[in-house]
Structure 1
Amino acid sequence: MAFKFAAGETIETGLRRIVAEQAGKAALAARDGADDPQAAIHAVRRRCKKIRAALRLVRGSFPDYRRENEAVRDAARALGRLRDRPVVLQTYDALVREKNLSPDTAERDRLVQSLATSMSDDPIAALESFADEMDELVARSEDWKLKRDGFVALEEGLEKTYHRTRKALKVAQRHPTTLHLHDWRKLAKYHGHHLGLISPSAPHILLASRTAANDLADLLGRHHDLDMLAGSLPADTSLAPAMVRRKRELEAESFRLGGELTVEAPDAFAARCSAYWADWVAEKK
């Protein structure tokens, strides 16, 4: 089934199903990742973000939230550095291409060598260990219990994530540091997943907002990739001016889109989603 709650199921049943599906697919992708470990790492980390978003949505009703969220976070984090290294080179090539720059072959060769030297970890072993952790998560999810059902089980997590996303925009506008923009990106991604999870209640409206949230996260992701690239090159790199210009472009577009996405007050946003949910439940009876 899709990554969303379904009509007729309790929130507890839906949570178990959603997490088991995502964790099961992540384990399968990890075990099938020998031919292309980097693609597998990218895919399973996306699954982990979806799982953590689902957990965050029910955080106010789920006694085991903190433990399970940390378990998924740590499993994904172990693969993070394996994912980041190839992205640096991809970002280098993309910047040269997008800005029509003259490539510095010697500098690129040094970057390739530096990345190759640092990639001593075994991605296959890491993926196998990750798959085992996902199997354990699926098994634990069968016993999960929530304290509430219906929209009230989701409301706290939905509103809190929206509020934090909105606040993160304001912080990033005042101080557009690498850390602030990266934190904003993570929250925007969670918010987008939350919209997708409740989208059956008002698909035309909520899926459009989810697309906007995903677009925002993608913009901020490209900004983060440029920061990683900058940290991998010498300070006097010929790409420095182009990196700064591209980051400013991404910031401007992110601030515009983020402002549109979170223009509503958090309590008004939660009330609107509650009304969608109530109408949807009534229609399905």
Structure 2
Amino acid sequence: MEYTLQPNERVSDGIKRIIDGKIKRAIDHIDKNNDHHETVHEVRKRCKEIRAALRLVRPVLPTYKQENVHYRDAARRISTIRDAHAAIETFDERLKPAVQERNELDEKTLADIRTTLLERRDTMAVEQNIEQRLNAVRTDLIEGRRRVDDLPIATEGYDAVAGGLRKSYKRARNRMIEAYNDPEFERFHEWRKRIKYHRYHTRLLRRVWVGPMKQRRAELKDLSDIIGYENDLAEIAMTIHDEELFAMGTRETLHQIITAKRSEYHRKGRPLGERLFTEDPDQLVDRIGAYWKATHEYDSDL
């Protein structure tokens, strides 16, 4: 229920409930003072969920831009630290297995690569004062929470969400075409962001017809993961190149393996993306609108 609009509540009430709940969870993560890197990851996820909820009602929320920028900037305070930790995860889960599969580098070299990435992350966390940055994000969240009850969502019902749903879906659909026409990192990175917003919207609207919406969300999660793996490899490749972290020969080997693996993810994501984004935006919005009407007007079990 936490991240889903309920049929028996007004859209404005549901959006405010959801945003307030996500802010509270983010603050709780910070206050627990557990592993800083896990906290950074969870807090950034909460900010993305908040922004997705705002985007769903964007056309009927006059203060959307102010609110979106607020949570975007809060997450940016800790984005480079998160990226440094993500590089280690990408090495462990994607790059190292690919290198071992090709038997390109010995285990000592792989261990040295990981040590370098770990030291880079820890140095960055100290230099940027990760605890201080998390406290600053906490202040941002408290400030944003004070405005939640007064968010001026201008209408109710399906009209409140149809425009935001259409916009997020249309952008994801268009970014897919652009990514495969020009398969550079920036294109796929932008597509991944739009996939995730549409996936969040599918989750927010899941109660209009739980089975089909749950299935769509699961397939969007699969696609988001595939393109996410591609993005992660591209980012670690840029880090290795820009910072010249390893010996030239090691960098060249890693570059070749990353390039091949990214192409593999490009090919894997194409058929799933084509299926998920085959509908015209108006068709998708009309279809989900029909689900909404059936649920809100005719379902006697609500």
TM-score in terms of structure 1 length: 0.94
Deviations 1:63-113 (A, max 9, x none): 111100010100011111110101112222332124424342444444444
Deviations 1:144-187 (A, max 9, x none): 12111100111111011101100000000011111111110000
Name the residue aligned to 1:4.
4
Q: Quick one: distance in 2 between partners of 1:172 and 1:200? A: 32
Return the letter of the residue paired with 1:60.
Answer: P
1:282, distance to aligned residue in structure 2 (A): 1.1
Which runs of structure 2 are paired with 1:80-159 in the superposition (5 Å)? 80-94=79-93, 95-100=95-100, 101=103, 102-103=106-107, 104=109, 105-119=111-125, 120-159=127-166
The answer as to whether partners of 1:111 and 1:232 remain within 8 angstroms in 2 is: no
Q: Quick one: distance in 1 between partners of 2:267 and 2:47? A: 29
Q: Quick one: distance in 2 between partners of 1:112 and 1:69? A: 32
Return the letter of the residue paired with 1:21.
Answer: G
The answer as to whether partners of 1:27 and 1:132 remain within 8 angstroms in 2 is: no
* 1:177 equivalent in alignment to 2:176: no
Structure 2 residues not aligned, in runs of 5+ = none
Partner SS for 2:61: coil
Name the residue aligned to 2:297.
282
The answer as to whether partners of 1:56 and 1:65 remain within 8 angstroms in 2 is: yes
Q: Quick one: distance in 2 between partners of 1:53 and 1:149? A: 18
Q: Quick one: distance in 1 between partners of 2:212 and 2:92? A: 37
Which runs of structure 2 are paired with 1:21-60 in the superposition (5 Å)? 21-32=21-32, 34-60=33-59
1:121, distance to aligned residue in structure 2 (A): 1.2
Q: Quick one: distance in 1 between partners of 2:227 and 2:237? A: 15
Structure 1 residues not aligned, in runs of 5+ = none
1:9 to 1:109, Cα distance in 2 relative to 1, 3 A:
closer
The answer as to whether partners of 1:192 and 1:213 remain within 8 angstroms in 2 is: yes
Name the residue aligned to 1:272.
287
1:106 to 1:17, Cα distance in 2 relative to 1, 3 A:
closer
1:199, distance to aligned residue in structure 2 (A): 0.7
Return the letter of the residue paired with 2:67.
Answer: E
Partner SS for 1:9: coil
Deviations 1:104-144 (A, max 9, x none): 24444444444444441111111111112112222100111
Deviations 1:232-265 (A, max 9, x none): 2246412222111111111111222111111111
Q: Quick one: distance in 2 between partners of 1:112 and 1:275? A: 51
The answer as to whether partners of 1:45 and 1:76 remain within 8 angstroms in 2 is: yes
Q: Quick one: distance in 2 between partners of 1:35 and 1:262? A: 40
Q: Quick one: distance in 1 between partners of 2:49 and 2:78? A: 16
Partner SS for 1:72: helix
The answer as to whether partners of 1:4 and 1:197 remain within 8 angstroms in 2 is: yes
Name the residue aligned to 1:13.
13
Which is further off, 162-171 or 132-141? Answer: 132-141
Name the residue aligned to 1:217.
224
Q: Quick one: distance in 2 between partners of 1:215 and 1:46? A: 17
Name the residue aligned to 2:265.
250
Name the residue aligned to 1:162.
169
% same residue: 29
The answer as to whether partners of 1:28 and 1:131 remain within 8 angstroms in 2 is: no
1:217, distance to aligned residue in structure 2 (A): 1.4
Q: Quick one: distance in 1 between partners of 2:117 and 2:41? A: 21
1:43, distance to aligned residue in structure 2 (A): 0.8
1:42, distance to aligned residue in structure 2 (A): 0.7
The answer as to whether partners of 1:52 and 1:72 remain within 8 angstroms in 2 is: yes
The answer as to whether partners of 1:11 and 1:153 remain within 8 angstroms in 2 is: yes
TM-score in terms of structure 2 length: 0.89
1:97 to 1:54, Cα distance in 2 relative to 1, 3 A:
same
Cα RMSD, aligned residues only: 1.6
Aligned length: 284
Deviations 1:185-239 (A, max 9, x none): 0000000000111110111111111111122111122111111211222464122
